[in-house]
Amino acid sequence: MVVTIAGEKKKIKEGTTVAQLIIDENVENADYVTVTINDEFVDSENFDSTVINENDVVEFLYFMGGGSL
């Protein structure tokens, strides 16, 4: 099936979970990544049970801390 991952259309296996996709895509700092599917945040505790569907749009986000001088 075809999904969009980080702006790029890719083929993945049917039944792929968010957790498996993180592994398959070699996501850096996987413990700190935030995932959205179709602009909806996925709780990290649900990565193992959330299945990616045909035509989903998946983004991997990292929130950076910072401040002003």
Distance separating alpha carbons of residues 45 and 24, to the nearest angstrom: 18
Question: CATH says 2-61 is which class?
Answer: alpha beta
pLDDT of amino acid 12: 98
pLDDT of amino acid 5: 97
User: Where in the chain are the domains?
Assistant: 2-61
pLDDT of amino acid 19: 97
Distance separating alpha carbons of residues 63 and 4, to the nearest angstrom: 21
Distance separating alpha carbons of residues 65 and 58, to the nearest angstrom: 23
pLDDT tens digits for range 21-66: 999 999 988 989 999 999 999 999 999 999 999 999 999 998 776 6
